[in-house]
Structure 1
Amino acid sequence: MAGKGRNILVIKHGALGDVILAQGPFQAIRAHHGDARIVLLTTRPFAAFLEKSGLFDDIWIDERPKLWQLSKLIPLIRKLRGGRFDRVYDLQTSTRSNSYFRFFPKWRKPEWCGIAKGCSHPHDSPLRTKIHTIERHIDQLKVAGIDNVPPVDFSWAMTDISRFDLPTKYALLVPGGSAHRPEKRWPAIRFAELAEYLDDKGITPVLIGGKAEAEAIEKIRSSCPAAIDLSSQTDFGDIASLGAGAMLAVGNDTGPLHLISAVGCKTIVLFSRASDPNMSRPRGQDVRVLREDDLANLPINRVIGELDLEP
């Protein structure tokens, strides 16, 4: 219930795509609870970024200790109990976050919106494992009386990217993905061909990623020297700003695509059989999905056909 003086805890650990998809629910929780004290429990990579949103009064870092790491687990239990929370929104709904429900004594358990056994606001819909993350969050919040989840607003995330001195017409290419999931990556040689095509059309390819993408990005730049390499130079805010200014973005099923599409950039995201776009695709004003069981078999012409660059 909304009201003054209430202490609210929101649990969301990540990865990046999941955090971006939770932005609308974050906004809805803040709007519903007005001037209540709202604490976010998240992991270190997202704390500084989400602090800028202004939606939370405090952000706590969860180091996700193992059960035998008592030197870390006991302080976490004490901190959660000491928060004297009236309600918890568990947007992670993992085995770990479910276990946190048990940290609270029976005589001081908060209202709990999630799937922990015995919680006050269980999201027990049989569809929860069959619908997209956003719809699952929306359905979960309805159980707790939150009926309106607004469109996402990442205006707070924008940074000054003038230091990159980019041309007016540029496209973002995101050739990376989970290091342990190579099957989720379109081959670098295909990205290189796409970069050459964009350059021929007068659109500068801009490459983003991290150290794990260094080899792929080097291959792309070897084929298309005009491509601008911003790998390992961008934070989450920069990625949002780059997305807001880009003509389009093309990339694998990976976190940055979620942020890029969420700020309104036309986005083409490439899926293999390793994941289901119906459950986790990026959302935005214009998001197009191309799926091939083995991305090595996704031809360049199918991607070019989605660009709509021809007059």
Structure 2
Amino acid sequence: MPHRILVIAPAWVGDSVMAQPLYRRLKGYRPDTHITVMAPDWTLPLLDRMAEVDATLRNPFGHGALRLGSRYQLGRRLRGQYDQAIVLPNSFKSALIPWFARIPQRTGFVGESRYGLLNDARTLDPKALPQMVERFAILAETAGRPLPRPVPAPRMTVDPQTRDQAVQALGLDVDRPVVAFCPGAEYGPAKRWPARHFAELARRLVSQGYAVWLFGSAKDQPETAAIAIEAGVPLVDLAGRTSLAQAIDLLSLAHLVVTNDSGLMHVAAALERPLVALYGSSSPEFTPPLNERAEIVTLDLDCSPCFERKCPLKHFDCMEKLGAELVESAIARVLTKPPGTPGSPYIRVQPV
């Protein structure tokens, strides 16, 4: 009989990508493991592109919704189907379904006082596990065992036929090398490089013969529209025009990705695309793009990272003073870095 594991996955796109090394470790230890991942609808396309995931379950509970009775009913329907549950979110309610399902081993970090819900409860040591990908991966280990390093980087696979269908459906021209811009960041504006800087970089890249595609959700359309207007050169604005599945497949075509610290940054890294990641209010120490051909650019100001959604000091210097010329220099480093070169420490630059 295969060892049957139910993973309660995170709701954020980037976090979902960073859970993939956990799945790889689980399969490495027991190849007969059958992994089912319960996740929100919007992250299911990510899981479809992870070879280690055998099945998915739709998580019907929105952010903050307790719906205790519905959770009980779902847990009851799952009884007898799994040997272990691994709960990645730290909330109390995320551990309820495995408990209601009476899954024999329920693994996760203590979180919101979940001792009664988890019987394999772990205490997180943030200093020993500074990166989120490490905090997920260690849950593949038995309690008390240190994390074997290095942790494999997240990886996703794309079906070329499905990718070609996306290209045709959107009428895209792939004759020129594509630079993908990901100017959104779901967390808040403090993580977003200003539109005028993206526009300036777009002008420079188009003059060098690149095609620039703008990626994002419908929420990012005001930002991508501002970039396209300010740039004054032909750009392909895909924000709100693609599903997440199509965005993943199209990002795999990119010669280069320039991105804020966002879910799509982690998608691009997992697709092994050369990329330049821009950090202001968040920290590249905790959630870096896990990709050998990545450059992280940050001004490393005294006030950052602040981890706020909006600049608490009202000046937003961490992104405002990070000009297009600094990013263009990082692009040159990325595109001349031979494949297989070990990742470099992130780049701290001085404001101009």
Preserved CA contact (<8 Å) 1:205 1:228: yes
Task: Tell me which moved more, 276-285 or 301-310.
Answer: 301-310
- Number of residue pairs matched by the alignment: 302
SS of the residue aligned with 1:143?
A: coil
Q: Does 1:284 align with 2:286?
A: no
Equivalent in the alignment of 2:70: 72
Q: How far apart are the structure 2 equivalents of 1:87 and 1:281?
A: 30
Q: Of Structure 1 and Structure 2, which has the larger fraction of its residues in helix? A: 1
- Answer whether contact 1:121 1:143 (CA < 8 A) is retained: no
1:33-61 CA-to-partner distances (Å, cap 9, x unmatched) read: 33344321111112254245453443222
CA-CA distance at 1:124 after TM superposition: 2.1
Report the counterpart of residue 256 of structure 1 in structure 2.
Answer: 264
CA spacing shift, 1:100–1:147, aligned 2, 3 Å: farther
- Asked whether 1:41 is paired with 2:38, we answer yes
Alignment map for 1:169-208 (pairs within 5 Å): 169-178=177-186, 181-208=188-215
| SS at 1:41 equivalent | strand
Relative to structure 1, the CA distance from residue 34 to residue 130 in structure 2 (aligned partners, 3 Å threshold; closer, same or farther) is: closer
Q: Within 1, Cα distance between the matches of 2:67 and 2:119? A: 29
Check 1:9–1:157 CA distance in 2 against 1; reply closer, same or farther (3 A cut). Answer: farther
**RMSD after superposition:** 2.9
What is the Cα deviation at residue 11 of structure 1? 1.3
Per the normalisation by structure 1, the TM-score is 0.84
Structure 1 Cα separation of the partners of residues 211 and 126 of structure 2? 43
After superposition, what is the alpha-carbon deviation per residue over 1:188-238, rounded to whole angstroms, capped at 9, x for unaligned?
A: 111111100111111121111122222222222222332111222333343
Alpha-carbon distance change, 156 to 31 in structure 1, aligned in 2, over 3 angstroms = farther
Q: Identical aligned pairs, as a percentage? A: 23
How far apart, CA to CA, are the structure 2 residues paired with 1:52 and 1:289?
A: 25
Q: Relative to structure 1, is the Cα distance of residues 136 and 52 closer, same or farther in structure 2, using a 3 angstrom cutoff?
A: closer
Gapped regions of structure 1 (runs ≥ 5): none
> Equivalents in 1 of 2:268, 2:20: separation in Å?
13
Check the 8 A contact 2:277/2:296 in 1, yes or no.
Answer: yes
Task: Provide, for residues 138-171 of structure 1, a one-character-per-residue CA deviation record: whole Å limited to 9, x for no partner.
Answer: 3332236896864544224652243222233120
Paired with 1:114 and 1:128, the residues of 2 have a C-alpha distance of 18
Contact 1:243 / 1:261 at 8 angstroms: preserved in 2?
Answer: no
Judge conservation of contact 1:268–1:306 (CA < 8 Å) in 2. yes
Structure 2 CA distance, aligned partners of 1:18 and 1:70? 25
Report the CA distance between 1:102 and its aligned residue: 4.2
1:162 aligns with 2:167: yes
| Counterpart Cα distance in 1 of 2:33 and 2:184 | 40
C-alpha separation in 2, matches of 1:197 and 1:141: 46
Aligned-partner Cα distance in 2 for 1:244–1:28 = 24
CA shift at 1:121, angstroms? Answer: 3.6
What is the CA–CA distance in structure 2 between the aligned matches of 1:83 and 1:281, rounded to whole Å? 38
CA contact (8 A) 1:11 1:89 kept: yes
Match among 54, 59, 63 for residue 62 of structure 1: 59
Residue of structure 2 in register with 1:243 after alignment: 251
For 1:68 and 1:155, how far apart are their aligned partners in 2? 34
**Structure 1 residues 199 and 49, CA, compared in 2 at 3 Å: closer, same or farther?**
same
Q: CA deviation at 1:15?
A: 0.5
Is the CA contact 2:257–2:276 (under 8 Å) kept in the aligned structure 1?
yes
